[in-house]
Amino acid sequence: MKVLLVYPSTPATFWSFQHVLPFISKRAAFPPLGLLTVAAMLPHRWELRLLDTNVERLKDDDLRWADYVLISAMIVHKQSVNDIVERCLRLGKPVIAGGPLFTTGHASFPRIQHFVLGEAEDVMPELVQDMENGTVRHLYRGAGRPSIAKAPIPRWDLIDFRHYATMAVQFSRGCPYDCEFCDIIIMNGRVPRTKSPAQLIGELEELRARGWKDTVFIVDDNFIGNKKLTKGLLREMIAWRERVRPEMSFFTEASVNLVDDAELCSLMVQTGFKKVFLGIETPSAESLQECSKLQNRGRDLVQTVKALQGFGLEVMGGFIVGFDHDKHDVFERQFEFIQRSGVVTAMVGLLTALPETQLYRRLMKEGRLEADTTGNNTDAVLNFKPILDKEFLVAGYRELMKRLYEPHVYYQRIRTFLKAHRPSGPKLSLSKSDLEAFLKSFWFLGIWYRGRIAYWRFFWSTLLRRPRHFRNAIELAIIGYHFRRVASLI
């Protein structure tokens, strides 16, 4: 059996980091972890190839080689998926599709013959047997929530590490919170399910054995969804780090109540976590109440951010505008909050109603749903009728993004972050990619592109006043260039 696993192209979004990649001579930010895990569930006697279209071009000869084409995708990949499916149909190649895009929206793809909806662990044995017998059904859907202890070590041998900026592993699925706009609980449930510490460390050890020495993204829906189990993992990871001295750092996604547990924060930093993404969403208490983001209510969110920075964690923040309770000053309030808190990487998007979420159902019931979502949170498009004027929201969003990533504004935000940040944890050596990015930043940011004067002021002031933070500061300057490019296209 010959199986080609294809990962679609990711458009320019916050998370693509595509404008950072030339600085470090990489082709993609993250590997296709889902496909690599699915590949490990297929029989080893089969011939497998994995083609990430963010890394290399999909050729007709690749498709002709395969008996089946497996595609995994998120909503943002919809256009790329349609292009790939069209080519498969033209060459008579059957497609089996899975992932978030299809779990909540497979009905939008009538030309795809076969789907695996939801989590794959419990249905893969049946699918494999049907593929071998030539009797693949139209639809496979797992019953319940499988134990993710069943997930095997991903088939890292199917990709070239040199093309990726970051590797990825998963410890848990699910989130205990019930935010109205979020589709995590639709796909993965509200009860976090975890791997054992030994299982996750086995995956990290596999990466280390294959030579990986850079950042690892723990791609959980909420890394601290079960704090007790997370602490157990972190203690084991610290012991593993002391035994084998891996040259890795980590970042992940969590809820803001991370700040309430000093021991948990300390363990994360000792383990080698450098960054954490938080869904901050909005400084408006009324809007937080509206979307059931109750874990963010009743706290000073600026001080939450600064406390985490004080532990040694850089806070990357997700923000949303377009809630029913947003007022006309929402853009100024978001700008002021982001600048004051020093959330350097501020991923701001217009509210969108994702399929099957509580928000989607409410807006449909109210007759306000107008279109499907693209899944790209940088699109200046609302797929529903908002309370505030739509043109006002779109124009305000575009202006906010451009303002946030103006060079002098952005560099000031880095300075605010550096004042609060207390770096600690394992010391990381300077890699070849770090040095390459550092040198390229001189040319791209200091000579070639707009904002060069602000860059050199930032460069020298940081070097002279905060030399310990200099490496981190230049990394953030480069990331800011990506966001500035994305903001200019909104």
pLDDT digits (tens, 9 = 90+) for 23-78: 999 999 999 999 999 999 999 999 999 999 999 999 999 999 999 999 999 999 99
Helix axes 227-244, 197-209, angle to 10 degrees: 40
Q: Mean of the pLDDT values across residues 261-271?
A: 98
CA distance 318 to 15: 11
Residue 421 structure tokens? 């940040």
| Cβ contact 231:197 at 8 Å | no
Largest CA distance in the chain: 68
Please give the pLDDT value at position 457. Answer: 95
pLDDT average, residue stretch 170-182: 97
- pLDDT tens-digit series, residues 193-208: 999 999 999 999 999 9
pLDDT range class, residue 433, cuts 50, 70, 90: confident
Rounded CA-CA distance 444/448 in Å is 5
* Spatial separation of the C-alpha atoms in residues 76 and 74, rounded to whole Å: 5
Alpha-carbon span 109 to 127, nearest angstrom: 20
330 three-class SS: helix
**Cα torsion through 410, 411, 417, 420, rounded to 10:** -150
Residue 430 predicted with pLDDT over 80: no
Q: Could you give the percent of the chain with pLDDT greater than 70?
A: 100
| Burial class of residue 289, CB neighbours in 10 A (0-12, 13-18, 19+) | middle
Give the per-residue pLDDT at 198.
Answer: 98
> Which has the minimum average pLDDT: 362-371, 412-421, 423-432, 462-471?
423-432
Residue 426: per-residue pLDDT: 86
Q: Name the pTM for this structure.
A: 0.94
Parallel/antiparallel/unpaired status of strands 193-194 and 172-173: antiparallel
Q: How far is CA 99 from CA 89, 205, 366, in A?
A: 20, 26, 29
In contact, 478 and 436? CB cutoff 8 Å: no
**Average pLDDT, stretch 350-358?**
95
Residue 375 confidence (pLDDT): 80
- The 8-class DSSP code of residue 438 comes to H
Chain mean pLDDT for the chain: 95
Round to whole Å and give the CA distance between 401 and 417. Answer: 19
Cα 196 to Cα 375: distance, rounded to the nearest angstrom: 32
- pLDDT for residue 431 is more than 80: no
Q: By C-alpha distance, which of 267, 315, 314, 305 is closest to 423?
A: 314
Rounded-to-integer distance, Cα 275 and Cα 315, Å: 6
For the packed helices 407-420 and 390-404, what is the interaxial angle rounded to 10 degrees?
A: 70
Measured CA to CA, the distance from residue 480 to residue 402 in angstroms comes to 12
CA distance 291 to 279: 12
Identify any residues that bridge with 369 across adjacent strands, giving them in sequence order. 384
- Does 449 have pLDDT greater than 90? no
CA distance 238 to 254: 19
CA distance 266 to 420: 16
Give the distance from CA 87 to its chain's centroid: 28
pLDDT at 424 over 90: no
For the segment 114-156, what is each residue's pLDDT rounded down to a tens digit? 999 999 999 999 999 999 999 999 999 988 899 999 999 999 9
CATH of 148-420 among 3.30.1860.10, 3.80.30.20, 3.40.50.300, 3.40.50.12160: 3.80.30.20
Q: How far apart are CA 134 and CA 147, in angstroms?
A: 28
Alpha-carbon gap, residue 131 to 124, rounded angstroms = 10
Q: pLDDT at position 14, please?
A: 85
**What CATH number has the domain spanning 2-141?**
3.40.50.280
Q: State whether the Cα torsion 81-125-168-172 is positive or negative.
A: positive
3-state secondary structure of 116: strand
CB 58 within 8 A of CB 84: yes
| pLDDT score of 82 more than 90 | yes
As a whole number of angstroms, the distance between CA 397 and CA 331 comes to 7
Asked if residues 417 and 388 have their Cβ atoms less than 8 Å apart, the reply is no
- Res 490 pLDDT > 90: no
